[in-house]
Structure formats: structure tokens, C-alpha cells
Amino acid sequence: MRAKITKQSRSFITIAAALLVAGTAPALAAAPKGPPISRSIARPLIAAQKALQTGKFADGLKNLQTAEATKGLTPFDHKTIDDLKAYAYVKLNDMKGAEASWEAALATGACSPADTLRFTRAVFQLSYNGHEYPKAIEYGKKLADLGEGSPDIYAVIGQSYYLTNSCKNAGVYMDKAIAASRKAGKTPQEGYYQIKLRCAFDAKDTAGEIAGYSDLVRLTNKPDYWNALLRLERQDEKEDKNLLMIYRIMFNTGAMKVGSDYVEMAQLLGDAALPGEAAAVIQKAISSGVITPNQMERTNRLLAALQKRAAADRKGEPEFAKEAAKSPAGQLDVKLGEVYYGLGDYANAVKSIDTGLQKGEVKSKGEAYVYLGLANQMLKNYPAAKKAFADLKCVTTIPPNILKLWALYAGNLGAT
């Protein structure tokens, strides 16, 4: 079964049209280095400014339309009128009118660099808010060309591409947003990765989904992302030892959500002669409330059988330790360490597994490094745990995808 994800809202980046203008209308007077306003429109422009400053926006707009109808206007006149009209339209909550006016102002060719940046940003934001995604893409790219390629701008371009069913371009711009965030010393937003993940989901691209969930796990370490990732990895896995590797990560990240996962993990551990750990898994399932009433009797029987076997392991522990100490090979020490781990004796688990690895001739090195890492993690010795998990790469029998999962798991150790 493919992992289920929720479709993102249309605007994970908040863009408020009210932020497009300041609290006062654009000044009538020309900038010091700019051309003068034509005298023929001075009267209606002054009347428009007074109306706008006193909140009479409809009256201001009428005066601006009067000025606009005057013959012989210069490009600078038109740019000034269009900017004031846009302000009036925003105050009247006519965002389409504001957008058209700022576009017209840009088209005059009379904009200063500051005006060009302001008007371009305004059209970009308004077109996105108005669901005009192709235009938002066009003006977002213009902003980037003006040196305004911020994470939010790239992300909105990417979101706009996604909403126009262009996932390839959406991924390109989400990657730009992620890179720009890191360059600015900021943590990228989850939404940047979620768009890429959604594209993979829509395309039924399992490899893309795995990559997307891996990125989100790396970013957040959230159990829900772990759960989705591990279910994808598990769906085609046939080897019990690899399944157990996946279940260990699922269990230790809090990603187990259903009782059947706990039961299957416990049965695999029981088959691996690790009843103490298996019993702990079943106890966790019961305490978590994921065992349904009709499963409870069977689960309790399984727990009782595992506890009986674990008690026998505990009773035979001294003799097992003596046997391991006499053995010139390290396999028994490693197995003893795994038993110690299942019984919650993490210090002796580390000591025994370390001894076994030093002796050599360990047949199950993958399990040895995993339990060494987990035991050190329980002791909060994160550097030693990370080293143990890193040593898994030397075990040639572990599939590459399982190695990647443990590397991902190790990367989040000690994170707060």
C-alpha cells in the first residue's frame, strides 16, 4: 500500500495584499531626480491626494480618472496616476484594479529602480493571491532577475508551477527555495519539501516519495514521516532480517501506529531468539492502546510465552556469559549483548558486543552494530551510537536502502 499524504493548501506561504502599500498614499511630488508632473493635471492630482489622505478613496479615484483623461500626458504622469490608482483600488478592496494599475505603471517605462521593484512585487503577490499562477510565475522570475530571489519568492513560484501541473519546474524552484534558505542560515520550511513529495505521489513515483519522506525526516524527525517512509520501504521487502531492521527503526522512532506491526516485530524477534526484547515490544503495544479488544487475548498469550522464554534467558544468563567468555570467537559475546539489550541491561550489552567485535569471527555483524548503536543510544552516548551505525556500511550483506535508513536514523540522534 502506498503511503497517504494530504494535499497541501493553496497558500503555504502567507501573502497579504494589505502589505503591498504603506499607510499613506504615494507622494505626489516627483522624486528629486525625476521629471516634474505636467501642470495640466496638477489640480485633479492635488484633489485626488487630499481625498485619498482623508479616506475618500472613491472620490480620489474619480479625480485620478479625470487627470488620466487629460491630453498630452508624459510617461511619468501616467506612472504617477497609475500608482495612486493602485493605492485607491487596494483601499477599496479591488485587487484586480490595483494589479492592472501597477502593471500599467510598469509599462510606462518611467519607473525608477525602486518603483520597478515595488510594482513588480505588488503584481507578483496580487496575481498569486488571485490564482493567476502563470502571471505569478512571470513576475516572480522578474523579481529574481532584479536580485530579489528570496526563499519565499522561489517557493511561491514553485507552488504556482505545481498548481499549473508543472511538477518538474515546481521541483526546480522548491530546490531554489531550499538552497536560498540555507544560504541565509535559515531552516527550510516543510512546505518546500511537501510540494516535491506531492509531485512524486501524484506521479506514483515511489523512489521520489522515498526521497521526499527522507528529506522531511531529515528536516523534522517527525514520527508520521518516518511511518510513511518505512511503510514504503517495507512493502516489497521479503527477507525477515531486513524486515526486522525496518521494524527496529519504526519502533525506535515512535512510528508504529497499528497493533499488527508490534505483533509482527515481536514474532520476528522471537524467531531470532530475542524474547526479552519481543516481550518489551508487546508491552509497548498494549500500553499504547493499539491492540484492539478482539486481538487482546491472542496478544496476551503471545506476551506470556515471550515472558516465560525471557525469564529462562535471564536465569541462564550467568552460564551463557561464562560460555561466551571461554569462546575464542566473538559470536556468543555478540548474542549475549543482544540478550542484555532485550533485558534492558544496556551497559552490559555495550560491553559484551564490543568484546565480541574485538574477538572477531562474528557472523551477524549487522545486528551487532545495530544493537551496539541502540544500547549506546539508550545510555545517551550519542557519538558512540553514531559510530556504531556508521560501521554498518562495512557489512556487505545489508541492502543499500537499509543502510540509508540507519544513516538517516543516526543523523537525528541527540536532536532536540
Cell of 100: 492592472
Amino acid sitting at position 67: A
C-alpha cell at position 363: 557472523
Q: How many CB atoms lie within 10 A of CB 288?
A: 13
What count of other Cβ atoms lies within 10 Å of the Cβ of residue 304?
12
Classified by CATH at the fold level, domain 316-416 comes out as 1.25.40
HEC string of 330-378 equals CHHHHHHHHHHHHCCCHHHHHHHHHHHHHHCCCCCHHHHHHHHHHHHHH
Question: Residues 265, 251: contact at Cβ < 8 Å?
Answer: yes
CATH of 42-111, one of 1.10.3470, 3.40.50, 1.25.40, 1.10.150: 1.25.40
| Residue spans in the chain of domains classed CATH 1.25.40.10 | 316-416
Considering only CA atoms, give the Rg of the chain.
Answer: 32
CA distance 47 to 53: 10
Per-residue pLDDT of the chain (416 residues; tens, 9 = 90+): 444 444 443 444 443 333 344 334 555 444 435 678 899 999 999 999 999 999 999 999 999 999 999 999 999 999 999 999 999 999 999 999 999 999 999 999 999 999 999 999 999 999 999 999 999 999 999 999 999 999 999 999 999 999 999 999 999 999 999 999 999 999 999 999 999 999 999 999 999 999 999 999 999 999 999 999 999 999 988 899 999 999 999 999 999 989 999 999 999 999 999 999 999 999 999 999 999 998 899 999 999 999 999 999 889 888 999 999 999 999 999 999 999 998 889 999 999 999 999 999 998 899 999 999 999 999 999 999 999 999 999 999 999 999 999 999 999 887 65
Strand runs labelled E in 127-268: none
Q: Nearest Cα to 74, choosing from 98, 107, 102, 38?
A: 38
Q: What is the DSSP letter of 5?
A: -
Total-model pTM: 0.82
